[in-house]
Chains A and B, each alone.
Chain A
């Protein structure tokens, strides 16, 4: 039994440096559209952000905001057709991932960029042992003898905390629990020592106690390897505990971007503030939860101007014009015409001050 005391200081150390100077991944005005029979879905519609070395960047938003499509675009897994990256660039390792060939992309994918998916059962092949699946990835990307690859696979399983890794390596995915399968996915993703790990809702399907184990694991391995992590989640609690910086997405665009403390203490976009207010608070019992009226508009029919305006309490006539993403403080960007008013009203009294 272990008790971990985690404070923010060790995480903060990374993001005080300018992430752009050390950025390993830079997304510039990325647009990923899906061309379907019923129209064009502008799932990701001009987003820009970067990820620094060793940094954990969280992407949050409701379902249908384009979080997962962003991740799939980076790793080049957009199904084509109907999907297509129609604009922008993804700079990684001196190259633009949107321009290179499929063959070159394959060298990057699973090697210097790895990904963990939400559902560990459906991401593992049920007819191969977990060992085979880890070894396959190692052999594709590293020049190793199969015997060495197997040793490495066992080592990775040990590293992610699978007990009796020597025998577990020959088990099939169905013989493992959800938490263990997710660990196998992590072992597989980390076997190639990637520079960037994309984790798409890695703990959403897991129980809280298992989620706690997995988050600690990713965090520990990240520190050990100096890897960057792009964490996609809808759970603001997970973001608060693991991320250095946060990108809030709404309807295919970046609504707000800031380091985690600034975002949680001074949410400046009405959408960010509304997300926080609709969370039930575990430390006290309030009478009624604040809600966001309506829902995320369909990607086929995003409104002109600010896409949040139909659900926004601050909306005025000016919101029919698209708000630019402006920097209101160092590394704090907001796309809202009313950000000053919203920020002033949304200053949060953090629980740390209250108790």
Chain B
């Protein structure tokens, strides 16, 4: 997948080539430290990074994005795979060559509070690296440290201060000064702005962009904030449970998200615009444990468009549009370049053979049994993601659904009995609000859970804050819904009218 990443970069050889990178953390337990399982933090990641380019890496906690950054720097030893920086094999280097390489590859950490040694002055924190690599020695390193501090927008006189005297934003600037001190070619920014307030975040983002222009840097920009990534990245890789599920030019990814996970992720971002119609795709449950990821496509147990095939066969990363890779079986039979198959967007023609009643169940009852028990401490989890929110627990769904077809799965994986009395309360969120379906639909079969409410068109009256007169009219508007048509043996998805008895 190295041919054409983007028009500008296609001629050049990639600065960094990562091929089928894997990092498994062994889980041991019992008296003899038996190796019982692996946490598959990265499970076969392949990408190229070009000079002067920013590759954003996004995904939820526990998807392996932090481990990816650290494995490339060999702060963590890889299990399998290769990474080449300017043609040199990073994983085959001895310690001395690795140290030389680290002047070209640097990292900016997430937490500006724990990444600076509290007992060292700023001058030493920045200057030590310069001395170690033999760039400048003696007092000259303080002069250079001063220049660097001024470059990142701090006063040069700060070199004699200690980290605790600085605010979070200032510390992050110090971290950046330390990273660029050795004039690297490539910096891993691991959630570099996540801990900052928006105004400070904007300052640091601008600084990173200025430095990139000035020093011709490449960034691997790891973040969970998609708005930030959109702002800074040229290309974006979306990760889910240790794999890249989509890799694309930034604009194409946000305009045409191909993978259902990317679509859900994008739709979940709160938009700072109260007039905007929300059309949020709620995924049930949490990210499953990387210790026992679902078979086949890792996303299939949360995917509203999952097919039988997704359970058994892991989709490969395929170039579906120019410069836009995705790994999803939905596009297997599509002529390329494909148009995004949206969750609830246009009709999704599912092949009859691959669509059984079970498939549309969002949660697989067999594969999400909680494997999380015993000795795996929170610390172990932090190894594959810096956040303590690393999510070890998959959703546990009791097999009750099979016996009682009247029950349905709610948006959070909870079981909703349509006959439950609390649903009758007038104030309660109606079943329709929760699921986008009428109780009658729900009774029929769990198959119809793909029911979807189409976005209502934007209305001008919404822009006027005082104008509420039009609201009832809007509410009455019949909603269109896509649901599986039973009479057609689930072969096609039909658009049905809300008021029409189905």
Partners in one complex: yes
Residue interface mask A194-212, B partner, CB < 8 A = 1: 0000000000011111111
Min C-beta distance of A240 to chain B, whole Å: 4
For chain B, give the interface size range. Answer: 35 or more
Q: Is A343 in the interface zone, CB < 8 Å from B?
A: no
User: B427 to A282, Cβ gap below 8 A?
Assistant: no
Residue interface mask A84-115, B partner, CB < 8 A = 1: 00000000000000000000000000000000
A295 to B, closest residue via Cβ: B167
User: A7 to B202, Cβ gap below 8 A?
Assistant: no
Min C-beta distance of B130 to chain A, whole Å: 29
CB-CB contacts below 8 Å: A127-165 with B: 158-164
User: B206 to A5, Cβ gap below 8 A?
Assistant: no
CB-CB contacts below 8 Å: A268-283 with B: 274-276, 278-283
Q: Is B392 in the interface zone, CB < 8 Å from A?
A: yes
Residue interface mask A207-233, B partner, CB < 8 A = 1: 111111101110110011110000000
B410 to A, closest residue via Cβ: A161
Q: Is B7 in the interface zone, CB < 8 Å from A?
A: no
User: B392 to A177, Cβ gap below 8 A?
Assistant: yes
Q: Is B69 in the interface zone, CB < 8 Å from A?
A: no
Q: How far is the CA of A265 from the CA of B274 in the complex (A)?
A: 9
Q: Is B425 in the interface zone, CB < 8 Å from A?
A: yes
Residue interface mask B242-272, A partner, CB < 8 A = 1: 0000000011001000000000111111111
Q: Is B198 in the interface zone, CB < 8 Å from A?
A: yes
The verdict on A241 contacting B449 (CB below 8 Å), with A224-B425, A234-B198, A291-B206 known, is no
Q: What 9 A-B pairs have minimum CB-CB distances, sorted nearest first?
A: A161-B412, A237-B270, A1-B304, A280-B231, A278-B202, A220-B429, A289-B202, A292-B199, A207-B60
User: B282 to A241, Cβ gap below 8 A?
Assistant: no
Residue interface mask A1-44, B partner, CB < 8 A = 1: 11111111100110010000000000000000000000000000
The verdict on A208 contacting B60 (CB below 8 Å), with A3-B344, A62-B197, A275-B198 known, is yes
A155 to B, closest residue via Cβ: B422
Residues on B lying within 8 angstroms of A by beta carbon are: 60-61, 167-169, 197-203, 205-206, 209, 224-228, 230-232, 250-251, 254, 264-284, 286-287, 303-304, 343-344, 360, 362, 372, 378, 388-389, 391-393, 395-398, 410-415, 422, 425, 427-429, 433-436, 449-450, 452-453, 455-456, 458, 462-463, 465, 468, 471, 474-475, 479
Task: Collect the chain B residues with CB atoms within 8 Å of residue A162's CB.
Answer: 412, 414
User: A3 to B282, Cβ gap below 8 A?
Assistant: yes
Task: Collect the chain A residues with CB atoms within 8 Å of residue B429's CB.
Answer: 219-220, 223-224
User: B265 to A7, Cβ gap below 8 A?
Assistant: no
The verdict on A278 contacting B198 (CB below 8 Å), with A7-B474, A213-B412 known, is yes
Task: Collect the chain B residues with CB atoms within 8 Å of residue A262's CB.
Answer: 465
Task: Collect the chain B residues with CB atoms within 8 Å of residue A292's CB.
Answer: 199, 202
B231 to A, closest residue via Cβ: A280
User: B205 to A280, Cβ gap below 8 A?
Assistant: yes
Q: How far is the CA of A350 from the CA of B434 in the complex (A)?
A: 28
Q: How far is the CA of A9 from the CA of B278 in the complex (A)?
A: 12
Q: Is A81 in the interface zone, CB < 8 Å from B?
A: no
Q: Is A341 in the interface zone, CB < 8 Å from B?
A: no
B363 to A, closest residue via Cβ: A163
User: B436 to A3, Cβ gap below 8 A?
Assistant: yes
User: B199 to A275, Cβ gap below 8 A?
Assistant: yes
Q: Given contact pairs A5-B453, A7-B277, A225-B427, enumerate 19 new A-B contacts (beta carbons under 8 Å).
A: A9-B468, A163-B395, A163-B412, A175-B372, A216-B280, A237-B269, A237-B271, A265-B275, A265-B465, A274-B199, A276-B272, A278-B202, A280-B205, A280-B228, A280-B232, A281-B230, A289-B202, A351-B276, A352-B463
User: A4 to B411, Cβ gap below 8 A?
Assistant: yes
Task: Collect the chain B residues with CB atoms within 8 Å of residue A6's CB.
Answer: 278, 280
User: B201 to A4, Cβ gap below 8 A?
Assistant: no
Q: Is A338 in the interface zone, CB < 8 Å from B?
A: no
User: A352 to B456, Cβ gap below 8 A?
Assistant: no
Q: Is A236 in the interface zone, CB < 8 Å from B?
A: yes
User: A264 to B274, Cβ gap below 8 A?
Assistant: yes
Task: Collect the chain A residues with CB atoms within 8 Å of residue B282's CB.
Answer: 1-4, 209, 212-213, 216
Min C-beta distance of B282 to chain A, whole Å: 5
Task: Collect the chain A residues with CB atoms within 8 Å of residue B455's CB.
Answer: 5
Name the residue among B227, B433, B455 with the largest chain A CB count within 10 angstroms: B433
Q: Is A261 in the interface zone, CB < 8 Å from B?
A: yes
Min C-beta distance of A168 to chain B, whole Å: 8
User: B201 to A278, Cβ gap below 8 A?
Assistant: yes
Task: Collect the chain A residues with CB atoms within 8 Å of residue B435's CB.
Answer: 2
Task: Collect the chain A residues with CB atoms within 8 Å of residue B226's CB.
Answer: 208, 282
Min C-beta distance of A346 to chain B, whole Å: 14
Of B203, B280, B463, the contact of A291 (CB 8 Å cutoff): B203
Q: What are 23 A-B contacts defined by CB distance under 8 Å?
A: A5-B278, A6-B280, A8-B274, A12-B468, A162-B414, A164-B398, A175-B372, A177-B393, A208-B60, A209-B60, A209-B264, A213-B412, A220-B429, A224-B429, A236-B198, A241-B270, A261-B465, A275-B199, A280-B232, A282-B269, A289-B202, A295-B169, A350-B463
